[in-house]
Chains A and B, each alone.
Chain A
Amino acid sequence: MKEIVIKADRLTKNFGDFTATNAISFEVEKGEIFGFLGANGAGKTTAMRMLCGLSIPSSGTASVAGFDVYKQTESIKQNIGYMSQKFSLYEDLTVKENIRFYAGIYGMSRKLIKEKMALVLEQLQLTDEENTLVKSLPLGWKQKLAFSVAIIHEPKIVFLDEPTGGVDPVTRREFWNLIYEASAKGITVFVTTHYMDEAEYCNRVSIMVDGKIEALDTPTNLKSTFNAVSMDEVFLQLARGAKRSAD
C-alpha cells in the first residue's frame, strides 16, 4: 500500500487577474523523487510556495505530510525542509555554526545536533573545514552543505527549488547522489529543475505550462508517449505551446 505525502487537488493561485497556478492536481508518494518542471514563469515557484505554507491558495485543496495547507501551515513547517534556488546559508558563519543554527531553529536537542553534525561533516568530507567560514567554500560544497542542512531535522518531505543552478556537471552528479541517499532513507524529494538530464533522475516528472500541469508520468513513459528520445524533447514539445514569456 503506497503512502501519499503530498496531495494537491485543483490547487489554484490568482494574483489579481493573473492565474499563476491553474487548478493543478497531483499526488506524491513517500520516498519518491518528484520532478517539477516548467519554463520560467510557468507557476512552479507559486505552487511550491503554497505547498510550503508560505502562500495561501486561492482555491482548491492540498495536504502536505497529512496537514492542510490552509489551516495547518505550522505543522507543515515542522515536517518539511526547504532549499531555495538562491544560496541560503550564512556566509559569515562557519560550516559548524550554520549547521547548529538551522538545526537549532527546528528545535533539535544539543545532543542530537552533535550527532547529526558529525554525520553530515563526514558525509560531505567537510570535517577538516568545520570551522571555515562558508563564504570561502567552493560553490559546489556550499550547495551540498545547503542540502544537508535542509534535511538535518529529517523532514518527511524536502522541497528543492532549482538546487543545482550554476553548479558544474560533476558536482551536480554528486548532489544527486545526496538526493538518492535521502530518498532511500524515506525522505520524499520534491524538486524543480531546469536541467533536463536531471529530470531523467526523477521517479516521476510533471511538466507545467502556463500554470497547468500538461504531463505527469515517469520519464520513460513520457518519452514513449511523446515519441521522444530524451526528456529535453518532451519538454520542448510541451513548452512550445506556452503563451507566457519568461519572468
Chain B
Amino acid sequence: MKQFIIFVKKEFYHIFRDRKSLLIIFLMPIVQIILFGFALTNEIKNSNIAVLDNAGDESSRAIIRRLDASRYFNVVQIIHAQPEIEPAFKTGNIRMVVVFQPGFRHSLLHTNHAQIQLIADASDPNTATAITNYASSIIGDYQQELYGLTAIPFMIQPEIRMLYNPQLKGTYNFVPGVMAMILILIAAMMTSVAIVREKELNTMEVLLVSPLKPLLFIISKAIPYIFLSLVNVVTILIVSYTILDVPINGNLFLLIAESLLFIITAVALGLMISTFTKTQQEAQMISLMVLLLPTLLLGGFMFPIESMPLPLQIVSNIVPSKWYFLIVKDVMIKGLGFSQVWKESLVLLGMSVFLLAISFKKFKIRLS
C-alpha cells in the first residue's frame, strides 16, 4: 500500500510538472465542447436567400418579412425576373430562392389555392431539405394565422413533438460524443504515453529489477489518469449544463459511474497500446489512429451508424465509444435509468476485462 501511494505521488509530480500537457488536459475538454456546441452545430442558421416577388401584395410581403426575421434566413437579394434565378445561385452565395406567383393574395383568399415556389440549392442535399422544411413551416404558420380559428374544413394538422430535444439542438448529440472523444483521448493516450515514457527513459528496467509488482505498477500508473479523466467529465458536464443548456435528465451518479466504467475501458486500451510500443511518439500516433479516428467515424455521433453499410455497422460494435455514447445519450438526455443501459454497460465491462487481461499477460511475458 505504501509503495502504491509513493508511486501515485510520483505520477502526479510528472503530471503537474509538465505544464503544457496539464494545460491540454484541462483546457481541451472546454475548448472542444464550446467548439462543437457553437461552431460545429448541424443546425442551419442564417441561410442567405433571394426572393422573386411577382405578386408584391400584402401577403407576399408579410411572408418575406417573416422569413427574414427568422433566425434561419437572411433575405439578401431581390430578383426581378425568372431568368435571373439561376445566375443568382451561380454568382451569389444564396441557398434558396422564394418565388411568388402574380396575384398571390387574391388566389389565396378567393380560390383557396395559392402557390409559392421554393427553389433550393441541393448540391448539399441535407441542407436543402432542412431549409425548405424551415421555410414551409414559416409559410404554414402565416397561413394558419390568416385563417384564424375558423379553419377550412377537412384539414389534417399533424402535431409533431420532438421528444427529448424539442428544439432539435445539435448540442444534445455532440456533448455525449465529445465526452466519449475526450475521455478516450485523455485516458488512453495519456496512460500509454506515461508507461512508454518509463521504457523510453530506461527507468522501466530499474523498476523491473525492483520488488515492485507488475500489477501494482499498472494500477498506480492508471489511477492518476482515471482521476484526471473524472475531473474532465465533471468539467464537461458543468460547461454543457451552464453554457450550452444541455440538461442532465437522468441520475448524475449513474452518469458518473458509467463514465468511470468507460474511462477504465479507455485506460485498458492505453495499457494495451503501451505493451507493444517503444517510444512516446509511437504510442501517441497509435493512440490517435486506433482511438480517435474510430471514435469520430464509428462512434455514432458524427455519422449515424444505421445508415452505414452493414460491414461498418458490425465493425462499429468493437468501438467502445459507440457504447458509451449510447449510454450517455440515454442517461443524460433521455433520463433513463440503469435498467435501460445495463446491456451497453455490460459490453464496456466485458471489453475492459478482456483488454486488461491481455495487457497484463503481455506485461508479464516481457518480464521473463
Chain A interface size, as a band, is 20 to 34
CB of A88 within 8 A of CB of B206, answer yes
A39 to B325 CA separation, bound complex (whole angstroms): 57
CB of B202 within 8 A of CB of A54, answer no
Does chain A have a CB within 8 A of B18?
A: yes
Name the one of A87, A89, A105, A159 contacting B210, with C-beta atoms under 8 angstroms: A105
Residues of B within 8 A of A80 (CB): 209
Q: Distance (Å) between the CB of B20 and the closest chain A CB?
A: 12
Does chain A have a CB within 8 A of B368?
A: yes
Q: Distance (Å) between the CB of B212 and the closest chain A CB?
A: 5
Does chain A have a CB within 8 A of B201?
A: yes
Chain B contacts with A in 105-145, Cβ cutoff 8 A: none
> Would you call the interface of chain B mostly helix, strand, loop, or mixed?
helix
How many A-B contacts if CB must be within 8 Å?
Answer: 71
Does chain A have a CB within 8 A of B208?
A: yes
Residue of B nearest to A56 (CB): B368
CB of B6 within 8 A of CB of A104, answer yes
**Interface 0/1 of A87-109, CB less than 8 Å to B:** 11111110001001110111100
Residue of A nearest to B16 (CB): A92
Residues of A within 8 A of B205 (CB): 54, 82, 84, 88
Chain B contacts with A in 205-258, Cβ cutoff 8 A: 205-212
Given the known A-B contacts A54-B367, A107-B2, are A82 and B209 also in contact in the complex, defined by CB atoms under 8 Å? yes
Q: Distance (Å) between the CB of A143 and the closest chain B CB?
A: 13
Most central of A55, A78, A88, A93 by chain B CB within 10 Å: A88
Given the known A-B contacts A56-B368, A88-B202, A88-B203, are A100 and B6 also in contact in the complex, defined by CB atoms under 8 Å? yes
CB of A89 within 8 A of CB of B203, answer yes
Residues of A within 8 A of B17 (CB): 92-93, 133
Does chain A have a CB within 8 A of B363?
A: no
Given the known A-B contacts A107-B2, A107-B3, are A84 and B202 also in contact in the complex, defined by CB atoms under 8 Å? yes
Chain A contacts with B in 126-182, Cβ cutoff 8 A: 133, 150, 159
Chain A contacts with B in 39-74, Cβ cutoff 8 A: 52-56, 74
Chain B contacts with A in 1-39, Cβ cutoff 8 A: 2-3, 6-7, 10, 13-14, 17-18
Chain B residues with a Cβ closer than 8 Å to the other chain, count: 22
**Interface 0/1 of A102-119, CB less than 8 Å to B:** 101111000000000000
Most central of B3, B6, B13, B207 by chain A CB within 10 Å: B6
CB of B10 within 8 A of CB of A93, answer yes
Residue of A nearest to B213 (CB): A74
Does chain B have a CB within 8 A of A244?
A: no
Chain B contacts with A in 310-334, Cβ cutoff 8 A: none
Q: Distance (Å) between the CB of A104 and the closest chain B CB?
A: 3
CB of B211 within 8 A of CB of A101, answer no
Name the one of A56, A92, A105 contacting B13, with C-beta atoms under 8 angstroms: A92
Q: Distance (Å) between the CB of A110 and the closest chain B CB?
A: 8
- List chain B positions with a Cβ less than 8 A from chain A: 2-3, 6-7, 10, 13-14, 17-18, 201-203, 205-212, 367-368
Pairs across A and B, CB under 8 Å, 18 listed: A54-B205, A54-B208, A54-B209, A55-B368, A56-B368, A74-B211, A78-B211, A80-B209, A83-B206, A88-B202, A90-B203, A92-B13, A93-B10, A97-B10, A105-B7, A105-B211, A105-B212, A106-B210
- List chain A positions with a Cβ less than 8 A from chain B: 52-56, 74, 77-78, 80, 82-84, 86-93, 97, 100-102, 104-107, 133, 150, 159
